[in-house]
C-alpha cells in the first residue's frame, strides 16, 4: 500500500474540483476566473482594511463560540486594538489558550479573519443575536 502525500491529496482535490465544474458546464478561462474573484473580493460593506477594538461586552467571552472567543482574545493580547492581518499573523504562532486550533492540538483550517468575516462578524459586533437566550453582545467593534 503506497503512502498518499499531502501534495497528492491537494492535486486530487484540485482535479475533482475542476472535473465537477466541467461536469456542471462551468469552464472559465484563467482570466475570467481572476475577474470574477476580483469582484467577489471587492464587494460587500465590510473590508478587511479596518481595525478591531474591544467592545462593551468583552467580559462575556464564555457566551460565544470558541473561535470568536479566541479571536477576541488575540485582539486583547495585541493591546485591545488590532487589524485583521495582525490577528492572523499573531495566530500563526499563538500558544496556550490563544492557540488557533482545537484542544487536541490540530490547527483550524481557516485563518482567524476568514472565520470572523465569513461566519461570526455580525454576532461579534452585536448586530445580531448569538442565540435567543444569549442575545446580542458587542464583543468587538470594527471600524473600516
pLDDT, tens only, 75-124:
999 999 999 999 999 999 999 999 999 999 999 989 999 999 989 999 99
Q: Is residue 46 part of a domain?
A: no
Do 29 and 82 belong to one domain? no
Give me the chain's average pLDDT, please. 81
Range of the domain at 125: 51-143
CA-to-CA distance for 99 and 49, rounded, in angstroms?
Answer: 24
Do 124 and 55 belong to one domain? yes
Do 37 and 55 belong to one domain? no
CA-to-CA distance for 115 and 91, rounded, in angstroms?
Answer: 12
Number of domains in the chain: 2
Whether pTM > 0.85 for this model: the answer is: no
- Residue 138, pLDDT > 70, answer yes
Instruction: Dump the DSSP string for 32-58.
Output: HHHHHHHHHHT-SS--TTSEEEE-TTG
Lowest-confidence region among 24-33, 41-50, 106-115 = 41-50
- Confidence (pLDDT) at 63: 87
- Confidence (pLDDT) at 1: 43
pLDDT band at residue 23 under the 50/70/90 scheme: low
Q: Is residue 1 part of a domain?
A: no
Q: Is residue 125 part of a domain?
A: yes
CA-to-CA distance for 136 and 125, rounded, in angstroms?
Answer: 9
The residue behind cell 472535473 is: 19
Lowest-confidence region among 6-10, 115-119, 129-133 = 6-10
CA-to-CA distance for 110 and 118, rounded, in angstroms?
Answer: 10
Q: Which helix (H) or strand (E) holds 121?
A: helix 121-124
Do 92 and 118 belong to one domain? yes
Do 30 and 83 belong to one domain? no
Contacts of 58 by beta carbon, 8 Å cutoff, 6+ apart: 72, 76, 139, 140
Amino acid at each position: 500500500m503506497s503512502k498518499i502525500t499531502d501534495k497528492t491529496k491537494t492535486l486530487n482535490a484540485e482535479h475533482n474540483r475542476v472535473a465537477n465544474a466541467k461536469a456542471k458546464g462551468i469552464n472559465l478561462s484563467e482570466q475570467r476566473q481572476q475577474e470574477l474573484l476580483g469582484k467577489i473580493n471587492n464587494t460587500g460593506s465590510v473590508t478587511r482594511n479596518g481595525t478591531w477594538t474591544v467592545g462593551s461586552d468583552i467580559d462575556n467571552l464564555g457566551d460565544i463560540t470558541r473561535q470568536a472567543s479566541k479571536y477576541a482574545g488575540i485582539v486583547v493580547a495585541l493591546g485591545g486594538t488590532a487589524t485583521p492581518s495582525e490577528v492572523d499573523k499573531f495566530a500563526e504562532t499563538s500558544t496556550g489558550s490563544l492557540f488557533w486550533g482545537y484542544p487536541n492540538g490540530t490547527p483550524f483550517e481557516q485563518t482567524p479573519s476568514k472565520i470572523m468575516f465569513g461566519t461570526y462578524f455580525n454576532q461579534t459586533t452585536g448586530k445580531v443575536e448569538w442565540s435567543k437566550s444569549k442575545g446580542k453582545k458587542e464583543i468587538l467593534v470594527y471600524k473600516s
